[in-house]
Amino acid sequence: MHSKEQICHDDYQKTADWLLSQTKHRPKVAIICGSGLGMLADTLKCQQTFSYSDIPGFPHSTVKGHAGRLVFGELKGKECVCMQGRFHMYEGHSLCKTTFPVRVFKLLGVETLIVTNAAGSLADSYQPGDIMIIKDHINFPGLMGLNPLSGPNDDQFGPRFPAMSGVYNKDLCRLAMDIVKQLGVAQYVHEGVYAMVGGPNFETVAEARLLHRLGVDAVGMSTAPEVVVAGHCGLTVFGLSLITNKVVKSYEDTASVNHEGVLEVSKLRSHTLQHLVTELISRMDVNNNTNV
């Protein structure tokens, strides 16, 4: 199911050319919205929307809380494109398909990728409703050989062996921390390490304890493949996790997690996340990613 599906450069280019022919927007920033976070697209002005099913080469999103639309528009004077819903391994998509939009964004002229997700907390100090600025990730499927860069390398996008040690842009992380202090919400914003697991089941207690001991602060079922491809393409990356639940790490704990609960917490904190992303883009210099 997850073997390397061969997608050539021309396939990405055809999708990019189709989009460029359908819209006058020329985005410099792309935003990928996680479960329940599609409201980020609502902030865009002069919107133009495309259903994934209408875009040549795009997969279809099947997860509740993912609208399955690509929205172009302006935010604080900057041209953006927003994915209302992403694609996941557990839906049966190959990793080439899961990350397909990222390379299309590169060909559209995007320079900065903002990724968001809903995640469970492993850090004892995190609470549902908190926000985590992603400073690094552990890509467990990637460590097991399920990597979107497997197979022949496309030199038109990036090198065979791309470095990932600094893939989350430190300047944007610092800028985001400054913003949350000014917004008065620093008490529930953290910087931490995200781990991707395959899903779709949530973690067992033993798995949660292992992740915690490895230094993982939050865990989810997405994001890492998209970030790997973005890093390979040379895009600047900034990531946010909305903490929607505490992962059960004790056999005595009778609590459990479900997707509906994840969506409910996403709604509660959505405005804060929206303000943070909006202000970040407002202050971002898309040419050199510094505070303007």
Residue-wise pLDDT tens digits, 221-243:
999 999 999 999 999 999 999 99
pLDDT of 255 reads: 72
25 is catalytic: no
Condensed to tens digits (0 to 9), the pLDDT of residues 247-286 reads 999 999 877 777 676 667 667 777 888 889 999 999 987 6
53 is catalytic: no
221 is catalytic: yes
Condensed to tens digits (0 to 9), the pLDDT of residues 123-180 reads 999 999 899 999 999 999 999 999 999 999 999 999 999 999 999 999 999 999 999 9
For residue 41, pLDDT over 90 is answered with no
Let me know if residue 50 belongs to a domain: yes
Let me know if residue 2 belongs to a domain: no
What is the mean pLDDT of the segment spanning 104-126?
96
Question: Which domain, by its residues, includes 37?
Answer: 9-283
**Residue-by-residue DSSP string for the chain:** --S-----HHHHHHHHHHHHHH-S---SEEEE--TT-GGGGGG-EEEEEEEGGGSTT-----STT---EEEEEEETTEEEEEEES---GGGT--HHHHTHHHHHHHHHT--EEEEEEEEEE-STT--TT-EEEEEEEEEHHHHTT--TT-SS--TTT--SS---TT-B-HHHHHHHHHHHHHHT-GGGEEEEEEEE---SSPPPHHHHHHHHHTT-SEEESSSHHHHHHHHHHT-EEEEEEEEEEEPP--TT------HHHHHHHHHHHHHHHHHHHHHHHHHB-TTT-SB-
pLDDT of 203 reads: 94
Let me know if residue 248 belongs to a domain: yes
Let me know if residue 180 belongs to a domain: yes
For residue 110, pLDDT over 60 is answered with yes
pLDDT of 3 reads: 47
Catalytic residue among 121, 169, 245, 289: 245
Catalytic residue among 25, 88, 190, 232: 88
Let me know if residue 1 belongs to a domain: no
Catalytic residue among 176, 221, 224, 230: 221
Catalytic residue among 16, 41, 66, 224: 66
Domain count, the chain: 1
245 is catalytic: yes
Question: Which residue has better confidence, 193 or 62?
Answer: 193
Catalytic residue among 89, 118, 132, 208: 118
Let me know if residue 291 belongs to a domain: no
pLDDT of 164 reads: 97
For residue 108, pLDDT over 70 is answered with yes
Let me know if residue 3 belongs to a domain: no
Tell me the CATH number at 172. 3.40.50.1580
Catalytic residue among 5, 74, 91, 191: 91
Let me know if residue 4 belongs to a domain: no
88 is catalytic: yes
Residue found under tokens 């509740």 = 64
Condensed to tens digits (0 to 9), the pLDDT of residues 49-98 reads 999 999 999 987 766 655 789 999 999 899 999 999 899 999 888 999 99
Start-to-end CA span in the chain (Å): 45
pLDDT of 259 reads: 65
Condensed to tens digits (0 to 9), the pLDDT of residues 84-103 reads 989 999 988 899 999 999 99
pLDDT of 54 reads: 95
Catalytic residue among 2, 60, 212, 259: 259
222 is catalytic: yes
For residue 292, pLDDT over 50 is answered with no
pLDDT of 64 reads: 64
Catalytic residue among 94, 139, 222, 289: 222
User: Which range among 4-18, 158-172, 187-201 shows the weakest confidence by mean pLDDT?
Assistant: 4-18
What is the mean pLDDT of the segment spanning 198-222?
96
118 is catalytic: yes
pLDDT of 168 reads: 98
pTM score: 0.92
